[in-house]
């Protein structure tokens, strides 16, 4: 009975989502860092032209 529950728990959407969470966080962090760099570049250009 325990093995069946363990197999079910391993396939549970909540468990699968927790496993994906670090990957999602890394992707989100990379995207945010890219956006921050773009904003910094834009601000730098605006300062030069003002």
Overall pTM surpassing 0.85 (yes/no) = no
* Residue 32 domain boundaries: 24-50
Grouping H, G, I as helix, E, B as strand and the rest as coil, residue 1 is coil
Give a yes or no: residue 46 inside a domain: yes
As for how many domains the chain has, the answer is: 1
Q: Does the CA dihedral 35-36-39-41 come out positive or negative?
A: negative
The reported pLDDT for the residue numbered 16 is 64
Per-residue b or e along 7-21, where b marks 16 or more CB atoms closer than 10 Å to that residue's CB:
eeeeeeeeeeeeeee
Give a yes or no: residue 30 inside a domain: yes
Query: What would the pLDDT profile of 1-50 be if each residue is shown by its tens digit?
Result: 455 555 555 566 666 667 778 889 999 999 999 999 999 999 999 999 88
Give a yes or no: residue 19 inside a domain: no
């Amino acid at each position: 009975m325990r093995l069946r529950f363990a197999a079910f728990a391993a396939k549970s959407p909540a468990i699968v989502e927790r496993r994906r969470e670090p990957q999602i966080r890394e992707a989100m962090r990379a995207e945010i860092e890219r956006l921050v760099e773009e904003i910094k570049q834009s601000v730098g250009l605006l300062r030069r032209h003002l």
